[in-house]
Amino acid sequence: MISSVVLSLAVAAFAAVRAEDSSALPAGVRNFNPQPPSAFCKQFGNVPPAIGTQLKNGGQSCSSTPQGLIPDVNKMVSTLIVEPKFGSTIDASKDNVVRIDTINLVTGFFNLANEQYYMAPQTLDPQTGTIQGHQHITVQKLGSTTQAPDPKVFAFFKGINNAATDPDKRSLQATIPAGQLTENGLYRICSITGTDSHQPVIMPVAQRGAQDDCIRVNVRNAGKVPAPTNTGNNNGNNKGNGNNNNNNKGNNNKGNNNNKGNNNNKGNGNNNNNNNKGNNNGNNGGNGNANFGSCQAPTIEFGKGFEGRKETSFQPVNKGSFSHGSAQNIDIITQFICDRLRDTCKAPQATQNLCNQARSAAGSKKAKTGAQADAFNAAFGIKTNFAAVQAFDDQGRPLRKRFFF
Ligand SMILES: [Cu+2]
């Protein structure tokens, strides 16, 4: 009884640091303002405060966010990767589901990764005292079994932002799309359990079992993609579109070739399926006509529900090469991609110039529409039709009538 009083006081105290406007956030997710600099951070005057963005291009920062609520010792997180099997060989030319079992985590708490990173203290479910958070799957090729891999390099990464829906609310999964892994060999697949705003979970005792799991698998048929089922255009190929009401939050189909949910629903009188759009041309042989150095094609996709967003936004299709979350402003993504092509992919100068042209082409189209992604992709010879995707505002309202009837 006393502890629940303390708990609700603590929850109330943290509520005070919430920002006023949480309207752009998915249900269940709160927005937090940066804390004033702590005494600790003030000692390092030359280190800027962490303000919710991720410093992907380098630089230190200092977080003044409290660690937050620490759960009871009987509520510690534990995770097991149950699929694929440890030590198995997986076929990279097919979709591979990674399924995990996690206990003592209330899932579906997934704050905006580019604006609220480390902004929220760890929070607990007020009823059960269980940590609120989400999972991630990360896949790396192991060049060596005796030397640790570079964490900046990964072959696949996926934040799992949806809440577990199995009866015990423990099971989550992500799909490594066919063709995503480009080299055969030994890989490591790990979970990274995170809180609402992505920090590692804070546990009450030091001596315990791990909150995360990693497995090793062998990969074969890397770099091979099954023949696209939808070469040419997608008219009439409305596989799996139906009239579903699914907001498609956190779906795992990005970048695969099954052409689920395209847009040519002529004469469809209702809007229930508007949320499931955006075809997946990124991997459909859309490799473009440029040399991307060590990277995959820099295709950008436009759609609703990325990272739990209510609004439409942009993100790179090939997260292995271009590890950036979604953004409403395409220039955040295009700039990141052009920097990456230069610094990491070591693409030739001609491709870098092409990237700058692609950026301006995107900038010349109407902001926050799929036409911007198409213009960027087209500069590399990658044909997409995100212009046909309905744009939504951050309340989930259609921005205007669909224009392609
Ligand atoms: Cu995360």
CA of 58 to the centre of ligand 1 (A): 19
CA 294: distance to chain centroid? Answer: 22
The residues near 207 (Cβ < 8 Å, ≥ 6 apart) are: none
Read off the tokens for 231: 């070469």
CA of 123 to the centre of ligand 1 (A): 14
Between 370-379 and 330-343, two packed helices, what is the crossing angle to 10 degrees?
Answer: 20
In tens, the pLDDT along 70-103 reads 999 999 999 999 999 999 999 999 999 999 999 9
Positions in the chain whose pLDDT score sits under 50: 1-25, 230-285, 401-405
Cβ neighbour number for residue 258 with a 10 Å cutoff: 16
Read off the tokens for 105: 């985590």
CA of 150 to the centre of ligand 1 (A): 19
- Please say whether the beta carbons of 133 and 202 come within 8 A: no
CA of 135 to the centre of ligand 1 (A): 7
CA of 250 to the centre of ligand 1 (A): 12
Give the closest residue to 321 by CA, choosing from 298, 290, 354, 339. 298
CA of 111 to the centre of ligand 1 (A): 8
Length of the chain: 405
CA of 195 to the centre of ligand 1 (A): 7
State the Cα–Cα distance between residues 225 and 223, nearest whole angstrom: 7
| pLDDT for 27 | 52
Residue at 346: amino acid letter = K
| pLDDT for 268 | 35
Handedness of CA 48, 51, 57, 61 (dihedral sign): positive
CA of 282 to the centre of ligand 1 (A): 24
| pLDDT for 286 | 57
CA of 134 to the centre of ligand 1 (A): 7
CA of 168 to the centre of ligand 1 (A): 22
CA of 161 to the centre of ligand 1 (A): 8
pTM for the full model? 0.55
- Please say whether the beta carbons of 70 and 202 come within 8 A: yes
Residue carrying the six token digits 């070739």: 257
| pLDDT for 279 | 42
CA of 136 to the centre of ligand 1 (A): 6
